[in-house]
Chain A
Amino acid sequence: QVQLVESGGGVVQPGGSLRLSCAASGFIFNNYDMHWVRQAPGKGLEWVAFIRYDGSNIQYIDSVKGRFTISRDNSNNALYLQMNSLRPEDTALYYCAKDFGNWANWFDPWGQGTLVTVSS
C-alpha cells in the first residue's frame, strides 16, 4: 500500500534552516505530483507547496516564496522541502501528501507528518 514517511523536523532558531524529506513507497513515484501541507499546533490545514511529477511545475503559498524550495528525486522515490530563513510562524506539523493523480490538486494519502519548531 502507499506509504509516505516524513523526516527532518526539529527545533531551529529563527533565521535557521531545515530540510524535510518524504520517503515514498507502494506506488510509482515518478508518475505522481506531490505536495507539502502544514498544520500549526491546534490550528487548521495550510497548503505549502506543489511539484509536478517531473519537476516541470512548482507552486508555493506566498508566505514561503523565496524561503522554501520543494524538490524531488525520482530515482530514490523522495520528496524534499528545503526551508531557509525560518520564522516562528513556520512552526507546524509538515505533511507530505500524494496528489490523487493527473494534476488533481487534492491529497490522498497523507504521511504522518514531521514537526518543525522555530523558537529561540
Chain B
Amino acid sequence: DIQMTQSPSSLSASVGDRVTITCRASQGLRNRLAWYQQKPEKAPKSLIYDVSSLQSGVPSRFSGRGSETEFTLTISSLQPEDFATYYCQQYNSYPLTFGGGTKVEIK
C-alpha cells in the first residue's frame, strides 16, 4: 500500500497569508495525486487533480505542484472561506489512500 504523509497536521494563518501544505508518498505516483477541501460537517470537495490541474470552479489562488513522491498545495492569499481541512489522495494504485489531513485555522 502507498502511504501518504501530510505536513503539518495543522497550522494557524491569517487572511491574506500564503499557505503551503506538503504531501509525501511512500513510492512514486506518476502524477496521480489529488487534493480535497473539507469544511466542518460537510462532504469533501475536489480542488486539484493530476498534481496541478485545477478543478472547474476552484479559485486560482489554489495551486498544486510536485512530482514522484513530494507534492505541495499552496493557497496564495488565504481567504476566510479557505479555513478548512485539506487532504491529499493518491490514485496510482489500489488501495486508494489519503493523507492524514491538514487543518487550516484562523490565527
Contact = CB atoms under 8 A, between A and B. Distances in A.
Interface of A: 35, 44-47, 50, 59-62, 95, 100, 104-113
B88 to A, nearest CB: 10
Given A105-B32, A105-B91, A47 B98 contact: yes
Given A45-B87, A100-B46, A108 B55 contact: yes
A95 B101 CA distance: 17
Contacts of B44: 45, 95, 107, 110
B45 interface: yes
A112 B49 contact: no
Contacts of A113: 43
Nearest to B1: A62
Contacts of A35: 96
A72 to B, nearest CB: 18
Contact of A105 (B45, B96, B101): B96
Contacts of A100: 46, 49
